[in-house]
A and B are shown apart, each in its own frame.
Chain A
Amino acid sequence: MMLCPIQTPAETRPRITYNIPTTQTEGSDEIERFLTALKENRFVPFVPTDEAHPLSPAWKRLEALYDLEENWNGYDVPAPNPDAIEHAKAWLQDLYLETKAKGQQWLAPHVAANEEGAVAFEWAKGKKRLVVYIGPEDAWYVKAWGPSVLTEMTDGEAETTEERLALWSWLLEP
């Protein structure tokens, strides 16, 4: 299954209302519809109508990024890039569906932005810390599992399903 990052500009995307299913049985038709839309390279936005949905907290935080202005952290950073926010939504949906398909635990990310307007998703689990940055057209990560920058910190790309799942498995493993 290939869940590609969406490359089309936000304003040209067909607006398909889609709620990510929360149970396996009720969601098979929805998943099929979702995959069909992806094959046709159509954007499928998650609409958080369910407050208890695992994606809802992160979604609210992503929406809140639109309200941040330049210098939002007091250190002269630019406002988050709207295209990066849209890309981050698609990326997070993909991650959620991929982890759900694997039966893996979901951990809501912390949501912020970096000094170039990219969205930053951050997780901390024990000694492990993972930050994934989502730009308008790319995604990359930095992860750490100890104090040494040389031997206990790495970075790389986080664009594909395989890359996302590898990061998630690393984060969850004891």
Chain B
Amino acid sequence: MPDDAEVREDSVGNEETLYRSIWLRKECFFLDEEGVLRVSAEAFADRNKQPSVFRKHLCDEPPYSNPPRLSPDDAVVSLIAGKIREASPIQHQSGKNPVVSHVIDIKPDTSGGQHRSHAVVYADPDFPNSNAFAKLKLRLAQLVEDWAIQPEADFIEQLKIMAGLNHPAR
């Protein structure tokens, strides 16, 4: 999406870049078997099962301004709105109940004094439990397009040490 493109505040366009600020905690990042830094699905964990994102074109000086970077140490990743919507529908079956199809969408959310760039990824109907929400979190982790701000090198080094380098069992 061009930087000078007009952005509607009342809806999120498919071409929009969305940022997710991620606390620098070892639970939110890991190195895969090839040593590639990944974002954990749990980096998108959210009590309301509606992960928060910030719309690039409505932030002041992204990615370093707050928002989208919610604290000075945070990493920031980017996603594309249309690709998130393509995750629809997420189907889930609880027990012997019928399969429910959840449409995935993104809506602006300025409730509670949130910044005008704030939006949430949500499901319609709402996810009934964490099992259903797990699919969205994993898809969002897969969809991470790029690092707007990478974790610091020292932090990545700590991850390598803690990972034990995934050596084969003896």
> Chain A interface (Cβ within 8 Å of chain B)?
22-23, 54, 56-57, 60-61, 64-65, 68, 72-78, 96, 99-100, 104-108, 110-116, 118, 120, 122, 124-125, 129, 131, 133, 140, 142, 144, 147, 149-150, 153, 155
| Candidates A73, A78, A129, A147; contact of B27 at CB < 8 Å | A73
Q: Does B90 contact A (CB under 8 A)?
A: yes
B interface: dominant SS: mixed
Q: Which residues from B are CB-within-8-Å of A61?
A: 26-27, 162
| Candidates B32, B51, B71, B131; contact of A140 at CB < 8 Å | B131
Shortest CB-to-CB span from B42 to chain A, Å, is: 4
Q: A61-B26, A73-B42 are in contact. Are A78 and B142 (CB under 8 A)?
A: no
Q: Which residues from A are CB-within-8-Å of B167?
A: 54
Question: Do B27 and A108 touch (CB < 8 A)?
Answer: no
Question: Do A99 and B162 touch (CB < 8 A)?
Answer: no
Q: Which residues from B are CB-within-8-Å of A108?
A: 163-164, 166
Question: Do B47 and A129 touch (CB < 8 A)?
Answer: no
| Candidates A56, A78, A114, A122; contact of B30 at CB < 8 Å | A122
Q: Which residues from B are CB-within-8-Å of A23?
A: 170
In the bound complex, what is the Cα–Cα distance between A142 and B26 (angstroms)?
Answer: 21
Q: In the complex, which residues 1-51 of chain B have their Cβ closer than 8 Å to any Cβ of chain A?
A: 21-23, 25-28, 30, 32-33, 38, 40-43, 45-49, 51
Q: Which residues from A are CB-within-8-Å of B48?
A: 76
**10 A-B contacts (beta carbon < 8 Å):** A56-B164, A57-B162, A73-B22, A75-B45, A76-B47, A107-B33, A115-B49, A131-B134, A144-B139, A149-B90
Shortest CB-to-CB span from A58 to chain B, Å, is: 8
Q: A72-B25, A75-B51, A111-B27 are in contact. Are A142 and B40 (CB under 8 A)?
A: no
Q: A57-B163, A78-B47, A115-B49 are in contact. Are A129 and B141 (CB under 8 A)?
A: yes
| Count of B interface residues, CB-CB < 8 Å | 49
**How many A-B pairs fall under 8 Å by CB?**
132
Shortest CB-to-CB span from B76 to chain A, Å, is: 12
Question: Do A124 and B33 touch (CB < 8 A)?
Answer: yes
Question: Do B89 and A150 touch (CB < 8 A)?
Answer: yes
In the bound complex, what is the Cα–Cα distance between A99 and B170 (angstroms)?
Answer: 12
Q: In the complex, which residues 123-159 of chain B have their Cβ closer than 8 Å to any Cβ of chain A?
A: 130-131, 133-135, 137-139, 141-142
In the bound complex, what is the Cα–Cα distance between A133 and B132 (angstroms)?
Answer: 12
Kindly report which residue of chain B lies nearest to residue A157, judged by CB atoms: B131
In the bound complex, what is the Cα–Cα distance between A77 and B131 (angstroms)?
Answer: 16
- Interface mask (B47-89 → A, CB under 8 Å = 1, otherwise 0): 1110110000000000000000011001000000000000111
Q: Does B168 contact A (CB under 8 A)?
A: yes
In the bound complex, what is the Cα–Cα distance between A113 and B47 (angstroms)?
Answer: 12
| Candidates B46, B89, B91, B131; contact of A76 at CB < 8 Å | B46
In the bound complex, what is the Cα–Cα distance between A22 and B168 (angstroms)?
Answer: 11
Q: Which residues from B are CB-within-8-Å of A153?
A: 135, 138-139
In the bound complex, what is the Cα–Cα distance between A165 and B119 (angstroms)?
Answer: 40
Q: Which residues from B are CB-within-8-Å of A125?
A: 32-33
Kindly report which residue of chain B lies nearest to residue A115, judged by CB atoms: B45
Q: A68-B27, A99-B169, A100-B169 are in contact. Are A77 and B164 (CB under 8 A)?
A: no
